[in-house]
Amino acid sequence: MLSDTKLNENHIVKLIELFPTQMSEFLVQYLISKKLKTYWDLLNCATYISSHKMKRTYQSTHNLESTLFTNVSKWAKSASKNVVLN
């Protein structure tokens, strides 16, 4: 479902809101350099930033990582339902 569902741009904003403000610059750079089209791309963005740009020793990093897949999957489901309804 993640790789088949077209990305709703509102969910990019929701993803940015999940991250600490210190990560905003890295997120924006990633979003500019990669053209996100699906929720799989969005998940890749989130996991890249959390794995490579955030401090691994902080519990907040692990807490965020544990919610990423759940949130992105939920957004993909809602986006796919909206496509079917429209």
What is d(CA 15, CA 19) in angstroms, rounded to the nearest whole number? 7
pLDDT at 1: 81
- Which of 84 and 6 is assigned the larger pLDDT? 6
Rounded to an integer, what distance in angstroms lies between the CA atom of residue 62 and that of residue 44? 16
pLDDT grade for 80, boundaries at 50, 70 and 90: confident
- Residue-level pLDDT at 83: 64
73: left (phi over 0), alpha (psi -120 to 50) or beta: alpha
Q: Which of 13-22, 64-73, 75-84 has the lowest mean pLDDT?
A: 75-84
Q: What is the phi/psi pair of residue 35, to 5°? A: -90, 100
- Phi/psi zone of residue 53: left (φ > 0), alpha (ψ -120 to 50 degrees), beta? alpha
Domain spans in the chain, listed from the N-terminal domain onward? 9-85
Structure token pair of residue 24: 């905003």
